[in-house]
Structure 1
């Protein structure tokens, strides 16, 4: 049995298939997901798993060079926004690289998400708890 962080087969495959500059979207339970984008649906019930739990596990296995976030998170979900920024600060130290963070409108975010390599749906039920993680290379 696999013993590393990601036990979910679909999620493990998605992370392993990502190349440099490819994006993976981690989203709340409400973000629309088009049929033609790979979907990893982890949502079990409201709040399970959370957005932040999922981010923690994914970023443990994915080298991240850039993140895209909806501007609306700053006002509509400041707790998640603060936790997200703190997570990236810690991850920068672990990865020994700068993670560039970009903000766009939520409407633009959805368009970018539609071009992700895959979208990971969580059970998060708070507004704008979404991020696109763009893969870097650890060398």
Structure 2
């Protein structure tokens, strides 16, 4: 049995196959997921698992160099936005790198998810609780 925090085999495999600049989207329960992108559906019920818990576990196994966030989160979900930025700041310390953060309009965000190698659907039911994480290299 794996020793790391991430036990979901499909998600673990997806992260293991990421190359430099490949992306993985973590989203709330309502984000539309293109049919041609691998759906990793973790949602059990409203709030389970939540967005921030999922981000926390994913970044334990993924080296992140960039994050894309919908601009609307700043006004529509400031608590989640602040917590996500704190998680990314903590990750920068652990990884000893700077994570570029880019904000785009939500419509552009949805279009960018089509380039992700996988989209992780959580049970999060708060607005704009979504992030696209881009893989870096730890050397």
The TM-score, its normalising length taken from structure 1, stands at 0.99
Which residue of structure 1 aligns with residue 24 of structure 2?
Answer: 24
Per-residue CA deviation, residues 57-96 of structure 1 (Å, 9 max, x unaligned), is 0001000000000000000000000001111111100000
| Off by >4 Å, runs of 4+ in structure 1 | none
Are 2:85 and 1:85 equivalent residues in the alignment? yes
Which residue of structure 1 aligns with residue 110 of structure 2?
Answer: 110
The TM-score, its normalising length taken from structure 2, stands at 0.99
- State how far apart, in whole Å, the 2-side matches of 1:37 and 1:97 are: 29
RMSD: 0.5
For the residue of structure 1 that corresponds to 2:133, the secondary structure is strand
Give the gaps of 5 or more residues in structure 1: none
Give the gaps of 5 or more residues in structure 2: none
**Structure 1 residue 97 displacement after superposition:** 0.1
Are 2:47 and 1:75 equivalent residues in the alignment? no
- State how far apart, in whole Å, the 2-side matches of 1:43 and 1:87 are: 21
Are 2:99 and 1:95 equivalent residues in the alignment? no
Which residue of structure 1 aligns with residue 49 of structure 2?
Answer: 49
Which residue of structure 2 aligns with residue 38 of structure 1?
Answer: 38
Per-residue CA deviation, residues 29-51 of structure 1 (Å, 9 max, x unaligned), is 00000111001000000000000
